[in-house]
């Protein structure tokens, strides 16, 4: 829980939790695991109407958050999503929206359709064989990213070539927000999924209901209007998107870990051995004390980062990396310990623990690993010196 | 009829001007704090604060304080950061001992001692832990027996920080051996220079002599030395521990001034990496990023837990969470420094760019951060029991008259 929530934020959080409990209880999540998409479009439209897509958009596109704190509002939703191991493209849609809203007017219709839950957008960032270094600057030009996805000028528009992977909800997306290299450096383009030359191939994802896939762009012809941002504006938008994706992913991991911990406390209390509950053994009590400490720290740092992002604070960049590195490192450790504490049933399909472990492992890998974010923190120290 | 307190911003403005005109700049480094000179200087500066009308901001006016709010104290502390402040008087004298006296003392005790503390004339310490044990505080064996209209104190205390410079110690002693351990304790105000009190300094692995052991041989104490009730010492000690947790957790309203928080404090790690030619090593950069992240998370966790406790989302005992995390952060700093120092971690030559002697010495003291102020093992008991609701430890001395409780061979 976080403590300085307004009454509106508490209501938003509670409504979200109730909606999830009613629509995607664990049995439904397990059933959706066998589906192609992992989630239902109708369900996503309902979620959008609940306000999940509104915070990042501005009023003219039908959005608007409880005053002033869009990232915190979405963090509240994300924590509940993680607790439920819920399906859906929430993180990638939120990240894309946070970038789109820093762009000129012509995105208004797209934003409106996404906010209404009618159109799905996904951020195409990663490339095969590369980590987050795809965003690193290459060569002597500060603005030239190391991405291999190229947008070359062609006939008044662009020709886009490259392959993106680890794209969330790739085979459900109507639009891709593609981070690429253009003539002026970093560029982001809006590419409808049905554009000729766009091929989506689904991949395998550890999470039961989150889906990722590979999207290849084979000389895809796009109009000038497909460019959302370029140059410095693109760099800023990409950073904003990464902040959103990292904080929301961390929040999901906090939620999932919180549920795993609740289940484990209950298990330790009810399970007896050698005549007394597991919970009475000091070695296990002490491990749970460590787990609880790390979980509260994970929660604290996630909400602290969200707050700084909302405030546009210069310290937000470091805070996001602090939160994502800490949460990404610790939550899998905590959930693994929960598995161990359950004994043999902890590694069975039938027990729910693997749902949480899948979610936090996915959360460790995407949008910056602990190692990537720790190096970034030191890069910031280096730049400040 | 009450007059409204001075608005915080007016108080701040007055404080800013006064500090500028009356206190020297903060010294570049803290210097040695385990010397008589350091304590004498602290008394002087405290007196200057008192004479200037800025001592005891949250202490009642009746006892020499200003009777203002923690917001006023926070403002003063912020304004004082560039100046020399008597920070060694904060813990335990002001934030723990004087605070407890304020809660539990008689009117005579408060009028006798508190104004002197605020003037820098009385320094107080705690006499709690004993050679026979610290975690099982209630199992102590220092004893006080009635002798006519006075008490005679015999026994030994240990780990008292700064006792060599103190005037009084708040000493927990056993006054009844025939009841279970918690019910037979009394808290006494013991003059450190009384006849029969011997203070011995303890040399730590770092060379510091901050901590002391005290021996009490038939130390005579008047009736007025009792703080709280006779045999009610456990409740009094609980108050001391409450104030200690607040002080260490950064929520005490009685501390004034602060050691400047050195931000992420990874400067030394960066210097070590550069000096060792490892600044571009990705693993070293990850280690430094991790150490920096831990420092930031610790501050965020303190805010989070403080807020959660205030709002009732977590019980007060959740302070043990920040205590445990602080220890982990300190371990990370010590361990990372040794790792980055690499093959230079155990040696140093005058003129070397980084003080690797400090790296090695700090590593020797690593366990101090998981022991001082309560062990991390006890913190884990508190977290698992009082925050997670797991069963309490089974104990062998519950409801047993203390004179029948088994004691070990070491020191008991």
For the domain made up of B263-387, the CATH class stated in words is mainly alpha
Residue to substitute from B288, B306, B311, B384, interface A, most A β-carbons within 10 A: B384
Q: Which CATH number belongs to the domain containing residue A371 in this structure?
A: 1.20.140.10
- Domain closes at, from A175, A202, A230: A230
d(CA A178, CA A186): 10
Residue to substitute from B267, B269, B297, B313, interface A, most A β-carbons within 10 A: B297
Cis ω for the linkage preceding B92 (within 30 of 0): yes
d(CA A221, CA A61): 27
User: Do A315 and A356 reside in the same domain of the chain?
Assistant: yes
Give the burial string for B239-270 (b: 16+ CB within 10 Å, else e): bbbbbbbbbbbebbbbbbbeeeeeebebebbb
**Residue A138 pLDDT:** 62
Contacts of B339 in chain A (CB under 8 A): none
Q: Which two tokens stand for residue A145?
A: 């990213």
Task: State the pTM of this model.
Answer: 0.91
**Residue A227 pLDDT:** 94
Domain assignment of residue A324, yes or no: yes
Of B282, B310, B388, the CB nearest to A292: B388
User: Do A241 and A379 reside in the same domain of the chain?
Assistant: yes
Q: What is the pLDDT of residues B203-216, one digit of tens each?
A: 999 899 999 999 99
User: Do A270 and A253 reside in the same domain of the chain?
Assistant: yes
Ranges of chain A with pLDDT below 50: 1
**Residue A1 pLDDT:** 47
Do B303 and A304 lie within an 8 Å CB cutoff? yes
Number of structural domains in chain A:
2
Do A296 and B301 lie within an 8 Å CB cutoff? yes
User: Do A341 and A246 reside in the same domain of the chain?
Assistant: yes
d(CA A143, CA A180): 12
Of B292, B298, B310, the CB nearest to A377: B292
**Residue A239 pLDDT:** 95
User: Do A239 and A326 reside in the same domain of the chain?
Assistant: yes
User: Do A205 and A238 reside in the same domain of the chain?
Assistant: no
* Tally of CA atoms within 13 A in the half-sphere of B201 that contains its CB: 13
Do A280 and B286 lie within an 8 Å CB cutoff? no
d(CA B39, CA B41): 5
C-beta of residue A215 within 8 angstroms of C-beta of residue A174: no
Do A293 and B383 lie within an 8 Å CB cutoff? yes
- Domain closes at, from A214, A230, A246: A230
Domain assignment of residue A205, yes or no: yes
The DSSP result for A213-258, as a single string, is: EEEEEEEEEE-GGGEEEETHHHHHHHHHHHHHHHHHHHHHHHHHHH
Enclosing domain of residue A320: 234-384
User: Do A186 and A252 reside in the same domain of the chain?
Assistant: no
User: Do A175 and A272 reside in the same domain of the chain?
Assistant: no
Contacts of A301 in chain B (CB under 8 A): 296-297, 300-301
Do B321 and A292 lie within an 8 Å CB cutoff? yes
Q: Which CATH number belongs to the domain containing residue A159 in this structure?
A: 2.40.110.10
Domain assignment of residue A65, yes or no: no
d(CA B162, CA B157): 13
Of A279, A282, A292, the CB nearest to B387: A292
Ranges of chain B with pLDDT below 70: 1-2, 260-264, 410-412
Contacts of B308 in chain A (CB under 8 A): 1, 3
User: Do A246 and A378 reside in the same domain of the chain?
Assistant: yes
User: Do A211 and A175 reside in the same domain of the chain?
Assistant: yes
Nearest CA in chain A to B266: A381
User: Do A281 and A220 reside in the same domain of the chain?
Assistant: no
User: Do A251 and A333 reside in the same domain of the chain?
Assistant: yes
**Residue B213 pLDDT:** 97
Q: List the domain boundaries for chain B.
A: 8-88+115-121, 263-387
Domain assignment of residue A106, yes or no: no
d(CA A69, CA B56): 39
Domain assignment of residue A170, yes or no: yes
Nearest CA in chain B to A376: B289
**Residue B34 pLDDT:** 81
């Amino acid at each position: 829980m976080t403590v300085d929530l307004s009454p509106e934020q508490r209501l938003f959080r509670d409504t979200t939790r109730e909606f999830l409990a009613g629509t995607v209880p664990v049995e439904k999540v397990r059933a959706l695991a066998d589906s192609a998409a992992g989630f239902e479009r109708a369900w996503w439209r309902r979620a959008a109407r609940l306000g999940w897509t509104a915070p990042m958009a501005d009023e003219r596109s039908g959005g608007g958050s409880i005053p002033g704190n869009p990232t915190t509002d979405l963090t509240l939703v994300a924590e509940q999503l993680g607790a439920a191991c819920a399906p859906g493209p929430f993180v990638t849609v939120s990240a894309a929206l946070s970038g789109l809203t820093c762009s000129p007017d012509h995105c208004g219709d797209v934003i409106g359709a996404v906010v209404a839950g009618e159109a799905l957008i996904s951020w195409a960032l990663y490339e095969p064989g590369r980590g987050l270094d795809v965003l690193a600057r290459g060569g002597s030009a500060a603005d030239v990213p190391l991405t291999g996805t190229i947008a070359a000028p062609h006939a008044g528009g662009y020709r886009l070539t490259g392959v993106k992977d680890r794209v969330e909800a790739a085979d459900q997306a109507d639009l891709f927000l593609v981070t690429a290299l253009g003539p002026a450096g970093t560029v982001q383009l809006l590419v409808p999924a049905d554009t000729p030359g766009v091929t989506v191939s689904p991949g395998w994802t550890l999470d039961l209901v989150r889906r990722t896939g590979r999207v290849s762009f084979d000389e895809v012809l796009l109009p000038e209007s497909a460019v959302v941002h370029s140059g410095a504006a693109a760099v800023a938008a990409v950073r904003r998107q990464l902040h959103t994706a990292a904080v929301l992913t961390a929040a999901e991991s906090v939620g999932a870990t919180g549920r795993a911990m609740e289940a484990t406390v209950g298990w330790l209390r009810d399970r007896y051995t050698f005549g007394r509950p597991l919970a009475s053994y000091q070695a296990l009590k002490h491990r749970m004390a460590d787990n609880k400490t790390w979980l509260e720290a994970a929660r604290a740092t996630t909400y602290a980062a969200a707050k700084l992002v909302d405030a546009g604070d210069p310290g937000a960049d470091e805070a996001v990396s602090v939160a994502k590195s800490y949460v990404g490192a610790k939550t899998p450790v905590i959930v693994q310990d929960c598995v161990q504490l359950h004994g043999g049933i902890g590694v069975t399909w039938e027990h729910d623990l693997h749902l949480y472990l899948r979610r936090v492992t996915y959360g460790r890998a995407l949008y910056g690993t602990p190692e990537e974010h720790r190096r970034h923190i030191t890069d910031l120290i280096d730049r400040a010196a | 009829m009450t007059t409204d307190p001075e608005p915080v911003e007016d108080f701040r403005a007055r404080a800013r001007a006064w500090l500028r005109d009356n206190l020297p700049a903060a010294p570049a480094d803290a210097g040695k704090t385990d010397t008589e000179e350091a304590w004498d200087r602290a008394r002087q500066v405290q007196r200057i604060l008192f004479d200037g009308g800025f001592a005891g901001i949250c202490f009642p006016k009746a006892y020499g304080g200003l009777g203002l709010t923690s917001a006023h104290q926070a403002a003063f502390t912020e304004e004082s950061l560039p100046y020399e402040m008597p920070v060694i008087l904060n813990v335990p004298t002001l934030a723990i001992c004087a605070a407890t006296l304020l809660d539990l003392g008689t009117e005579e005790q408060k009028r006798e001692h508190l104004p002197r503390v605020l003037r820098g004339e009385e320094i107080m310490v705690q006499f709690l832990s004993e050679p026979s044990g610290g975690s099982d505080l209630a199992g102590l064996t220092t004893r006080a027996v009635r002798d006519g209209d006075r008490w005679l104190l015999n026994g030994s205390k240990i780990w008292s920080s700064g006792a060599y410079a103190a005037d009084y110690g708040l000493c927990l002693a056993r006054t009844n051996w025939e009841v279970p351990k918690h019910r037979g304790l009394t808290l006494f105000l013991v003059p450190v220079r009384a006849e029969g009190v011997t203070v011995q300094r303890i040399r730590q692995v770092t060379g510091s002599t901050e901590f002391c052991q005290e021996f009490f041989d038939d130390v005579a104490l008047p009736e007025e030395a009792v703080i709280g009730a006779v045999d009610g010492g456990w409740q009094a000690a609980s108050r001391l521990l409450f104030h200690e947790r607040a002080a260490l957790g950064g929520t005490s309203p009685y501390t004034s001034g602060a050691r400047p928080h050195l931000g992420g404090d990874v400067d030394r790690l960066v210097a070590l990496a550069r000096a060792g030619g490892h600044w571009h090593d990705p693993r070293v950069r990850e280690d430094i990023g991790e150490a920096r992240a831990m420092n930031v998370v610790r501050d965020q966790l303190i805010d989070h837990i403080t807020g959660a406790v205030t709002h009732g989302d977590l019980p007060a005992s959740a302070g043990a969470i920040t205590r445990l995390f602080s220890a982990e952060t300190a371990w990370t700093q010590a361990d990372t420094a040794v790792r980055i120092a690499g093959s230079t971690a155990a040696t140093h030559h005058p003129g070397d760019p980084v003080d690797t002697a400090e790296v090695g010495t700090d590593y020797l003291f690593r366990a101090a951060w998981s022991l001082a102020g309560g062990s991390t093992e006890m913190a884990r008991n508190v977290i698992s029991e009082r925050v997670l609701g797991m069963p309490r430890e089974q104990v062998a001395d519950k409801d047993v008259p203390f004179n029948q409780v088994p004691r070990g061979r070491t020191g008991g």
